[in-house]
Amino acid sequence: MKSIGVFFAVAANSFYESVRQRFFLLFAVFAFTAIYASVLAGVMAVDQEARVLADFGLALMELTALAYALFTASSVLLREAETKTIYLVFSRPVPRWAYLGGKLCGALLTAALMLAVMGAMHLTLLALRGFGLPPCYAWAVLGSFLKLAVITSSAFFISLFSTSAVSTMVISGILWTAGHFVSEAGFLAERAQGAAALALKAVLWLIPNLQLFNARDAAGAACALPPLAFAAAAAWTLGACLSALWLLSRKEF
């Protein structure tokens, strides 16, 4: 039971520290960009303004939260080791799973709050322009959150063997980008032959298929995320967490 208490203490501390540090700056960047884009869209989108504003806003929300999540996941362990705060943590009866889980939970809670606040800002902006709630909006935001869960846990794992925060962010960014082209890469793997095909298929096993979480790619009422998407997100997140825990349990400070 004490370990659960430690888990919640780390999660709450991580959430509080994140909210205090860079939250509002990111919101300001998001609000400014979204308002600027809405003015541009009004001019350029002609009769598709509602669609353009909705898609652009959702993409911007995802990228803003992704920037936050990657920055946090790639720097938190490194910073705590550099400032030696980690000594005060791991010299106590703190299980490493509780620390890692708490940090991830705090980062995801912050990302969820960010998505919620940015979503509210986005919908307000749409309402001010005279548009209603875009179709599949909640599913799209949920899909973004699932992507963030997968990428953030992967970034925690990468940060444990990477040499710097920058390299963690770069590798995680590549993973996020590649995750949006898994179908295309699969098609290429089918067409390739010999060693190239084998190598491509092997690499595909290591890349999470983030296309599963793009709710608005589907048309009409089919935009609800399928159970497979939730199962895939849980499997990828758990796999990354267990791999990170395996590394962290061997790590010396």
Q: What minimum distance in Å lies between the beta carbon of 136 and another protein? A: 40
Assess 10 for contact with another protein (CB under 8 A): yes
| Alpha-carbon span 60 to 54, nearest angstrom | 10
Q: What is the token pair recorded at 69? A: 């999540």
Torsion angle defined by CA atoms of residues 118, 61, 240 and 195, in that order, rounded to the nearest 10 degrees: 170
Q: What minimum distance in Å lies between the beta carbon of 10 and another protein? A: 7
* Residue from the set 63, 89, 112, 117 that interacts with another protein by CB under 8 A: 89
| Closest of 231, 178, 223, 225 to residue 205, by C-alpha | 178
Residues 16-35 that bind another protein (CB under 8 A): 17, 20
DSSP 26-82: HHHHHHHHHHHHHHHHHHHSGGGHHHHHHHHHHHHHHHHHHHHHHHHHHHHHHHHHH
Assess 13 for contact with another protein (CB under 8 A): yes
Total residues in contact with another protein, by rule CB under 8 A: 22
Q: What minimum distance in Å lies between the beta carbon of 75 and another protein? A: 15
CB 229 within 8 A of CB 240: no
* Residue from the set 43, 46, 47, 91 that interacts with another protein by CB under 8 A: 91
* Residue from the set 84, 195, 205, 206 that interacts with another protein by CB under 8 A: 84
**Residues in the site for another protein, rule: CB under 8 A?**
2, 5-6, 9-10, 13, 17, 20, 83-85, 87-95, 252-253
